[in-house]
Amino acid sequence: MITRSRRVAGWAVHLYTALGSVIGLLALLAGARGDVQEAFLWLCAALAVDASDGALARLVGVKEVVPEYDGAELDDIVDYLNFVVVPVFLMLQMGLLSGPLGYATGGAALLSSAYRFCHADAKTPDHFFTGFPSYWNIVAFYLFVFDVGPGVGALVIGVLAVLVFAPLRFVYPSRTIFLRPLTLGLGLVWSVLGLMTLASLPERATGLAAASLFYPIYYTGLSLYMQSTGKHAS
């Protein structure tokens, strides 16, 4: 039975997801002021919302209690803002991308991700992401901390923009049962290291950032292993 309280809970979850758009605006404003630390902290908050709203939606059963509202589309809109538009803006604002090549590769990131977000196979039925899953927020963080030049930044962004179209499957951490406790546990450690790195700004704690690279390496290795062995996420 769909009670009033369940309907309210469903709408509350959608509101929680939508608040990510406000967080994205705050990140943009911080970046425009040149406050890189605050901008990345807002992106961390956006990541926390994105990591938790799906679990809340499944707990409440939003598709059942609010069937007239498409929460998945809302999630995609907010994710495109926070994990594509805002990071590309920050990379241009911080000089990680510059000049015609920088704008071209930044545009490539925007366009490739726009294509992937709207593609029917962006997420497989067994909960994998198809192609590089547009983690531009994480890419921007590492490029900034390691203080790469605009040439290296353009190369990295260009390669990853191409990989958005690659026939590769990447793990959806919260939906993948295989090794989920390990994946989530390591993800928590990575989050702590990332926050410690941000807390060190304006000094660039490259040692902490380098140590945190264990998780992107693990994530990529796990994704490739699952694809090569045909293991299912759920």
* pLDDT digits 0-9 by tens, 136-193: 999 999 999 999 999 999 999 999 999 999 999 999 888 888 998 999 999 999 999 9
Residue whose pair of structure tokens reads 């546990």 in the numeric block: 185
Residues 99-134 pLDDT 10s: 999 999 999 999 999 999 998 888 888 889 999 999
65 C-beta neighbours (distance < 10 Å), count? 19
pLDDT tens-digit readout, 201-223: 989 999 999 999 999 999 999 99
* Among 27, 22, 47, CA closest to 38: 27
Predicted confidence at residue 234, as pLDDT, reads 64
Per-residue pLDDT, averaged over 12-34, amounts to: 97
Please give the distance of CA 15 from its chain centroid, rounded to a whole number. 19
143: closest CA among 190, 96, 105, 107?
96
Angle between helices 180-199 and 36-60 (to 10 degrees): 150
Taking alpha carbons only, the member of 182, 170, 178 closest to residue 116 is: 170
User: Could you read off the pLDDT of 58-114 as tens digits, one per residue?
Assistant: 999 999 999 999 999 999 999 999 999 999 999 999 999 999 999 999 999 999 999
Helix, strand or coil, per DSSP, at residue 130: strand
Q: Note if the bond before 202 is cis, omega within 30 degrees.
A: yes
Percent of the chain having pLDDT more than 90?
Answer: 83
Predicted TM-score (pTM) of this structure: 0.93
pLDDT for res 225:
93
